[in-house]
């Protein structure tokens, strides 16, 4: 049975989505600097958002960038 998302996780998801909308794409390290969250907190939320289709990971060499999935924006507004 899937775990229910806590208010904190939902707030983190919203915060990260807003950053990605504003900046276009960011590395995990950049998101850490901008939010003050730990790597594990951010990575958990990023993977959740990726699984839900809101963001996608773009790799350039060893560096992973996270990008907002524009096609999902209409789905966010409906929720």
Domain membership flag for residue 46: yes
CATH number, position 40? 1.10.10.10
Give this prediction's pTM. Answer: 0.81
Domain membership flag for residue 56: yes
Name the residue with higher pLDDT: 79 or 33.
33
> Which helix (H) or strand (E) covers residue 58, if one does?
strand 55-60
Res. 78: pLDDT tops 60: no
Domain membership flag for residue 1: no
Domain membership flag for residue 2: no
| pLDDT at site 5 | 77
The number of folded domains in the chain is 1
Residues 65-78, mean pLDDT to the nearest whole number: 71
The SS3 assignment for 67 reads: strand
Domain membership flag for residue 71: yes
Using the Cα atoms of residue 61, residue 64, residue 68 and residue 72 in order, give the sign of their dihedral. Answer: positive
Give the domain extent around 37. Answer: 7-78
Tell me the per-residue pLDDT of 1-53, one tens digit each, with 9 for 90 and over: 567 778 999 999 999 999 999 999 999 999 999 999 999 999 999 999 999 99
């Amino acid at each position: 049975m899937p775990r229910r998302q806590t208010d904190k996780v939902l707030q983190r998801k919203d915060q990260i989505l807003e950053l990605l909308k504003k900046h276009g794409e960011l590395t995990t390290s950049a998101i850490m600097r901008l939010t003050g969250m730990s790597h594990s907190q951010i990575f958990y939320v990023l993977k959740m958002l990726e699984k839900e289709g809101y963001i996608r990971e773009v790799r350039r060499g060893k560096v992973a960038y996270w990008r907002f999935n524009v096609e999902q924006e209409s789905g966010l507004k409906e929720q």
